[in-house]
Chain A
Amino acid sequence: MTTNANPSDETNGVLMQGDEACAEGAIAAGCRFFAGYPITPATEIAEVLSRRLPQVGGKFIQMEDEIGSIAAVIGASVGGAKAMTATSGPGFSLMQENIGYAAMAEIPCVIVDVQRLGPSTGRPTSPSQGDVMQARWGTHGDHPIIALSPSSVRETFDLTVRAFNFAERYRTPVILLMDEVIGHMRERIVLPDPDTIELVERAGTTVPPEWYKPYENFPLDVPPLVPFGEGYRYHITGLHHDERGYPTNRLDEVRPWLERVFRKIESSISDIMIYEEDEVQDADTLVIAYGVTARAARQAVEQARQHGHKVGLIKLSTIWPFPEEVVERAADRLHRVIVPELNRGQLALEVERVVGRHKVRRVNRADGSILSPDDILDAIKEWSR
């Protein structure tokens, strides 16, 4: 699998697979370390990066399992590299403990989960959106998280870049929730000119080493993380810790930390929320969709409009933190919300929480096949009758 896409070839574009676009997005974002373990349908990301990373002076390693992969990624990030791993359900399950470690120790990293049908080994080549709640709550304990979900090859590229930017800006693990269709689908896309891509680099510190506090709670919500080996010797732990990173049981040290790590995400919601609204202005029915399902939803909405139904679409790219305000704002004016998903209703739970159960109609499929525009169109027709 080679990809020597010329990103600035605006006229022709390139034929690219979602997994490849993820790998190229990572390179464009400045990712210089990848550790992973082969698994369908995410393997192509590792294969492309094993070739591409050394070309740009980066490093690739195939670890002995997914637990080691995410651990190596966190270690590399502590060393100062933008780092990523990619997997699918079974591997994502194995990674959970260390994702919590990255959240606790506030180490930037990107975890790609190309969702396949679960549970367990499930059906490796069948799509699913079954890991939505796992992305939010898969690791134990309360913690903030960011998760993004693309619905096209080009968006995969863009969101991979955004995932790295969020990871670095907010010192947090970021999960890119792809799905088998988006990962394996090929589309002709035009990649952005590398010079136009906005990149976020890790903030440095201006204080001398003896003043440096890697977990300082004020004045910034995101204290700078200085890589190991640059003269700032400090401690990192998965235990609750004080501002210097040393373990603590003191409530007056644990509480400000807890407040800060949630605040750093919650106070930046407007930066983190990525979504598109289609025809919501005069709509009385709203479809909320993400990932591969958003493609079918868009078609269904177009067709419904042709039939005279006043229906709009919100396509979510950011799914965690859940875009409460976006949904709330739209739903206030609307009578009905339809939530199609390739699971038995996961993000629908959040929608129901925000707009009330009586307003929500779920359209679900969790058997490895995808939802067609007709499936969603039927729901629109039935529901607006």
Chain B
Amino acid sequence: MKQQRESRVHERYLRHSKKFPNVWCAGCGIGIVLGAIIRAVDALQLDKNDVAMISGIGCTGRMPVYVDFNTMHTTHGRALAFATGLKMVRPDMKIIVVMGDGDALAIGGNHFIHAARRNIGLTAIVVNNATYGMTGGQYSPTTPLGARAATAPYGHIEHPFPIAELAVTAGASYVARSTVYHVIELEKFIAQAIQKDGFALVEAVSYCHTTLGRINRWGRAPDMMRRLKEQSVTVRQAEKMSANDLKGKIVRGVLTDRQDMIEYTKLYDQIIERAQEEVG
């Protein structure tokens, strides 16, 4: 009974008008991430009016339209910058920014590192499917070296960005990585990220079986799901592994959870105080 109720949580959060069926391919991992976000928001008992979901462009960028929050589908790569303005004006809102890997790390890479550096209180969720899904499987900043892509017919010669590690280095307060196979864990990390005051990033490793997967003959959605399971290790396991053994592995877990940093809009409140003291 309890189990059944749990599985229908999303129905209270999806918009029930004319947006369905959704745009995603059957078997895509993006819907799993959306489900995890919804369950995390529900578990935290947030008021929908206080939640905003903002995206850029891409398959992942289509996520917000389906949920009954304050939602905004912006331009390619710029979601975090839009969200920065909204957060400064509405610091009490919980703002979840969902992006594809191309959206967040290629065209939006500059906004990504600077939002993390500023430690502004946004929850960034990057669905890393290692390709540009929406435009048909071109290589992205996370496409593995040597893979084929729609624009790498002879094999890819660039190295992938480690998204989560990049966010740690850039100064994020909270960073975690999981996969769409480890959905309970993913949901837990998303809930922790939303609760965090400062900039929080969750990298949700996914796949695109209809483009990159097909081009590389990596199999269908279940096969790619299996790869996520087999390729991943936890942070703790990774600590005991050599660099060589870690090649091609997805390291899951919380990479950083800092308690020593004040969130950006709170610091700005201090600026306002200082400025108003000065003018008296």
Contacts and interface: CB of A to CB of B under 8 A. Distances in A.
B273 to A, nearest CB: 8
A65 B82 contact: no
A98 B73 contact: no
A238 interface: yes
Given A64-B111, A235-B72, A236-B72, A75 B86 contact: yes
Contacts of B90: 79-80, 227-229
B85 A233 contact: no
A192 interface: no
Contact of A71 (B52, B71, B75, B276): B75
Interface string A1-37: 0001000000000000000000000000000110100
B83 interface: yes
A63 B49 contact: no
B8 interface: no
B84 to A, nearest CB: 5
Contacts of B278: 55
Interface in A58-88: 59, 61, 63-65, 67-69, 71-81, 83
B2 interface: no
Interface string A222-243: 0000011111011111110000
A54 interface: yes
Contacts, number: 141
B272 A54 contact: yes
Nearest to B270: A54
Given A101-B75, A234-B70, A71 B88 contact: no
Interface string A145-158: 00000000000000
B81 A68 contact: yes
A54 B271 contact: yes
B89 A246 contact: no
A68 B71 contact: no
Nearest to A72: B85
A238 B78 contact: no
Interface string B181-192: 000000000000
Interface residues of A, number: 46
B169 to A, nearest CB: 16
Consensus secondary structure, chain B interface: helix
A74 B82 contact: yes
A51 interface: yes
Interface in B1-54: 17-19, 48-50, 52, 54
A244 interface: yes
Interface residues of B, number: 42
Contacts of A69: 81
A247 interface: yes
Nearest to B278: A55
B78 A228 contact: no
A325 interface: no
B74 A76 contact: no
B88 A59 contact: yes
Contacts of B274: 54
Nearest to A71: B81
A381 B19 CA distance: 66
A237 B89 contact: no
A57 interface: yes
A229 B83 CA distance: 13
B199 interface: no
B113 to A, nearest CB: 8
Interface of B: 17-19, 48-50, 52, 54, 64-65, 68-75, 78, 81-90, 92-93, 110-111, 114, 268, 271-272, 274-276, 278-279
25 contacts: A51-B275, A54-B274, A54-B275, A55-B279, A59-B268, A61-B84, A64-B110, A67-B81, A68-B110, A68-B114, A71-B81, A74-B74, A75-B72, A75-B82, A75-B89, A79-B85, A79-B89, A98-B78, A227-B90, A229-B50, A233-B69, A233-B70, A235-B72, A244-B17, A246-B19
